[in-house]
């Protein structure tokens, strides 16, 4: 395997980091989407729905390896 220049390795790392950030952002937005509609629904959401959404979110963040404060 041919040795790569430092610049190309740095650029590759940057691209990887940007891709990971975009994936995390998309993941968080997907998680946040349904919960927003639950809270803003015209009929008041019952506590079970909110609690279930919260459990689902924390389970997803646990799986991702990050905790939301």
Largest CA distance in the chain: 64
Q: What is the pLDDT of residues 26-48, one digit of tens each?
A: 888 888 766 555 555 555 555 66
Residue range 5-19: average pLDDT?
A: 94
Task: Please list, in sequence order, all residues whose beta carbon lies within 8 angstroms of the beta carbon of residue 49, skipping any fewer than 6 positions away.
Answer: 38
The residue ranges of every structural domain in the chain are: 6-64
Q: Are 60 and 32 in contact (CB under 8 A)?
A: no
pLDDT of residue 41: 52
pLDDT of residue 7: 92
Q: What is the pLDDT of residues 51-69, one digit of tens each?
A: 777 787 887 777 777 655 4
């Amino acid at each position: 395997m041919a040795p790569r220049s430092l610049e190309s390795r740095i650029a590759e790392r940057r691209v990887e980091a940007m891709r990971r950030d975009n994936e995390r952002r998309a993941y968080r937005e997907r998680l946040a989407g349904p919960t927003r509609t639950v809270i803003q629904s015209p009929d008041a959401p019952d506590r079970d729905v909110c609690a279930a959404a919260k459990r689902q979110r924390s389970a997803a963040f646990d799986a991702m390896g990050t905790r939301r404060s």
